[in-house]
Amino acid sequence: MSKLKLEEVLELLKAALSGVECLIGEESGIPTVRVHPENLLEAAKKLKESGFDHVKSVTGLDYPDEGEIEVVYHVSSYTKPELTKVIVALKARVKRDSPKLTSLYGIWPSSAYLESETYDLMGVEFEGNPKQRRLLLPEDYEGIPPLRKDFKIPVEGVDAVE
């Protein structure tokens, strides 16, 4: 089966997500679903029911001027031939000062490690992810997460002489 056109994917998303409060569109040519955090789980369930059976990536984008972090799940399908080359971005924003989001591990187990990486490097806690842990930072790390824009590398060594 040939790859679906963007318009066809957007129509599929609108049908699949009817009843879920969300914005469906495209950003940089990628079909995108934006939801409030409280609607993330419901949107993910409906995407899974529509054939999007795994998460390819989870990432965080820091917007300090807006006081928010955007979490992006890129989802796709291994099992539905018409969706195997389609990637959908599922996005939700959380408050930067208390970044918590419901984990999608129960829907897509492939998100476990990816959510842990976002937790470790952006500081977003994924409630309900039984595998959430530090991956790169020490377990007792308490500073600003290193991929946030206000993270500063401590200066060490001798000052340069000009």
What pLDDT, on a 0 to 100 scale, did the predictor assign at position 15? 87
What pLDDT, on a 0 to 100 scale, did the predictor assign at position 125? 97
What pLDDT, on a 0 to 100 scale, did the predictor assign at position 162? 66
Write out pLDDT tens, residues 83-132.
999 999 999 999 999 999 999 999 999 999 999 999 999 999 999 999 89
Distances (CA, A) of 161 to 49, 58, 157: 62, 43, 12
Name the residue ranges covered by the structural domains of the chain: 6-127
- DSSP state letters, 25-83: EEETTEEEEEE-GGGHHHHHHHHHHTT--EEEEEEEEEEGGGTEEEEEEEEE-SS-GGG
Q: What is the pTM of this model?
A: 0.89
What pLDDT, on a 0 to 100 scale, did the predictor assign at position 20? 85
| pLDDT band at residue 3 using 50, 70 and 90 as cut-offs | low
The CATH superfamily assigned to 6-127 is: NADH:ubiquinone oxidoreductase Nqo5 subunit (3.30.460.80)
Write out pLDDT tens, residues 28-47.
889 999 999 999 999 999 99
